[in-house]
């Protein structure tokens, strides 16, 4: 397009030769398809990330006995700390969730350990312990509470939900079933 007007040279040459490129193969067509791949990648990556984060929180609802994550309230934490004032030794929180009890106990001078099945909550708990400056006395582990021995701990904290309570008349049968499964 020299001299200020008219048809660009490329279009004139194309129309004179009788050949033309398909519109999808031009430079604009390549840019459009690249955006499509880019958007598909962004949407796909986002869905995978949401699935990875949400799965540990949703799968407990699919178990035979549903044990949801319910954060301890400030009052509950204060009650635990109050009960620990006249105690010594190590502390374990079974189903530690976001680590509030373990961190509070560590701040009171206890060596505290939390066991939690949800890896995201364990990683968050470790981060919070580091943030609070108690990472040396507060430890968190990803584990099923039925596969851990708690005999080395002096103080045991469990915040239960009604689904965790076994009626006394079924407790013996429950214990026999779990002992036979371990053997």
Specify the pTM: 0.59
Given a contact cutoff of 8 angstroms between Cβ atoms, the answer to whether 137 and 111 are in contact is yes
Which homologous superfamily is 74-180 in? Vaccinia Virus protein VP39 (3.40.50.150)
CA distances from 85 to 15, 75, 99, 108, 112 (A): 91, 16, 19, 8, 14
Domain boundaries, given as residue ranges, for the chain: 74-180
Instruction: Give residue 109's pLDDT.
Output: 94
Averaged over 70-75, what is the pLDDT?
Answer: 86
pLDDT reading at 152 higher than 90 = yes
Q: Is 21 a residue whose pLDDT tops 90?
A: no
| Percent of the chain clearing pLDDT 70 (strictly above) | 61
Q: Tens digits of per-residue pLDDT, 86-142?
A: 899 999 999 898 999 999 999 999 999 999 988 889 999 999 999 999 999 999 999
CA dihedral (154, 159, 163, 166) in degrees, to 10, reads: 30
Q: How many CB atoms lie within 10 A of CB 98?
A: 21
What pLDDT score does 35 carry? 78
């Amino acid at each position: 397009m020299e001299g200020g007007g008219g048809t660009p040279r490329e279009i004139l040459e194309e129309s004179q030769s009788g050949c033309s490129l398909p519109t999808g193969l031009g430079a604009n067509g390549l840019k459009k398809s690249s955006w499509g791949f880019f958007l598909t990648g962004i949407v796909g990556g986002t869905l995978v990330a949401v699935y990875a984060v949400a799965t540990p929180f949703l799968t407990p609802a699919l178990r035979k006995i549903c044990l949801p994550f319910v954060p301890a309230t400030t009052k509950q934490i204060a009650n635990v700390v109050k009960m620990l004032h006249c105690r010594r030794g190590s502390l374990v929180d079974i189903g530690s969730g976001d680590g509030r009890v373990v961190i509070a106990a560590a701040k009171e001078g206890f060596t505290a350990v939390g066991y939690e099945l949800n890896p995201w909550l364990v990683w968050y708990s470790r981060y919070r312990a580091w943030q609070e400056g108690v990472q040396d006395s507060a430890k968190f582990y990803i584990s099923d509470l039925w596969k851990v021995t708690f005999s080395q701990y002096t103080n045991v904290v469990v915040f239960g939900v009604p689904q965790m309570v076994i009626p006394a008349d079924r407790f013996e049968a429950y214990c026999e079933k779990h002992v036979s499964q371990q053997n």
